[in-house]
Structure formats: structure tokens, C-alpha cells
Amino acid sequence: MPPVQLGKIPIYNGAWDCAVKTVKKEGFFGLYKGMAAPITGVAPIFAISFLGFGLGKKVFSSTGDKKENLTPSRLFCAGAFSGIFTAIIMVPGERIKCILQVQEIGNQKYDGPISVIKNLYTEGGIRSLYKGTCATLLRDIPACGVYFTTYELLVRYQKNNNSEGLINTIFAGGMAGILNWLIAMPADVLKSRLQIAPEGMYPRGIRDVFAKLYREEGLKALYAGVTPVMLRAFPANAACFLGVEFGLKGLDFIFPPKKNNSLEIN
């Protein structure tokens, strides 16, 4: 959603109004505008995220063994460690997505992701593509820590109570997604506004974005759009962890391990 300007009427009254107006003006596929870049990167991003978590478990284990049952604080550090990996590769794709999403029909500067990349590179080189890196790290490091900690602790609780199963995996993954985005949203809002802003608008980066947002809209703007984010967070992340668990079981079947462990990420 484009940022609200003082003295102007907001474009949308909420998530539902945004959806209705978008479909009416741009058609159903307008809801998916700008998704080519993130969809292209979603598989490698999640692969690197889980790889980073596996490495983090090994780094923060007291024995150097990632199979160790880590304390919540060590789990958080391992998850936060994975956030560094994902942020580095997510920044360009998210900037492209944000720029395409705020284009208006009939006044389009870009034809698609390639057009955005060419323009950004011409204007500022590689650095321009990575605008918003610090904001993305600020979002992903704590959010990934909460994400993996929530899932691991819920799965551990289910094991201790002999309540493992499909529904429990879905619940643990969905709750991990919800808590992840509750933590990530403020930084994500600031990141998105920074990434779509013209060059030079925010000379001090995310600090200037926050100052302007707080002055004009208040702190509640940090959670603008929270409803659709939460509606997406549970099913998307439940499906993610379900896919991971099924994938691991498939690998266990093909290459039988010596010992089974939940979320055994190499």
C-alpha cells in the first residue's frame, strides 16, 4: 500500500477495500502484481534459510552437534543466524517486487522485473539493487530467531506429550509464521517504504523513514496491512514446514538414517 501523505485522502480504507479496487481496476491478476521476482527466488531462499538454521544449530550448540536439544536462547540465536543468509539474497527481489506493486495502471514506468533491474542498475549500480539491506537484516534476524524457536519448541512439546502428527505439524508451522510476522512487520513496513522511495528522499535511511512515518501517521502505521499478512502467515508457513517434514521423511526413506530427528537440517 502506498504511504499516506499529509493532506491527502488514503487510496484504500483497508485490506478488503484494497482487494476490491485492485480487482476492479486491474483484474484478478492485479493481486499478484510484482510476484515474479519473489516467486523465482522462493525455493532457494527457503533452502538457504533452513541451511542457515542447521548451521546455526551447530554453531550455537554447546557440543558442536546440531542434533543437540538446544535451549530456547540458543535456538533463537541459531534461527537469527539463518536470517543473515536469507536477507542477503532477498533484498534485490523484494525491492523489485515493491517497486512493481506501487505502479499505477496507465502510468507504468516499468514493464516487468527485467525493466526494473536495468533501470536501477543504470541509476545506481549494484548498490541500488541492494537498497534496504540494513532494514531487511533488522527484520529478518529477530524474526527468523522467533520463527525457528517457536516451531522447534512446539514440536518438542508435542513429542514430550506423544501428540505428534500432521495436524500438530500444521499448527506448529502456522504459529511460527504468525509470530514471525508479528515481529517482522514494523521493520518490513519501513523497509518497503525505503525501497520504493526516490533516491535522496531518506538520506539517513531507515531512521528518516521511521521519523516521517511517526510524525505523519503514528506508530500504528507500522502494522498497516496486518490483517492480510496474518491471513497468509498461518497457511503459508504451515505448508512450508509440512513440506520440509515430508521432504525429510522422503530422504529418510531413500537414505535411511541411523537416528530420526525432527527438522534434521543438514
pLDDT above 80 for 27: no
Provide the pLDDT for residue 1. Answer: 35
Provide the pLDDT for residue 246. Answer: 92
In this structure, is residue 214 part of a structural domain?
yes
Q: Could you tell me the residue range of the domain that residue 212 belongs to?
A: 15-254
Indicate the range of 27-31, 112-116, 196-200, 239-243 predicted with least confidence: 27-31
Comparing CA positions, the residue from 143, 131, 125 lying closest to residue 84 is 143
Q: What separation in angstroms does the CA of 7 have from each of 2, 18, 176, 201, 216?
A: 15, 20, 39, 19, 10
**Domain containing 44 — which CATH number?**
1.50.40.10
In this structure, is residue 134 part of a structural domain?
yes
In which band, very low, low, confident or very high, does the pLDDT at 9 lie, cut at 50, 70 and 90?
Answer: very low
In this structure, is residue 266 part of a structural domain?
no
In the chain, the number of structural domains is 1
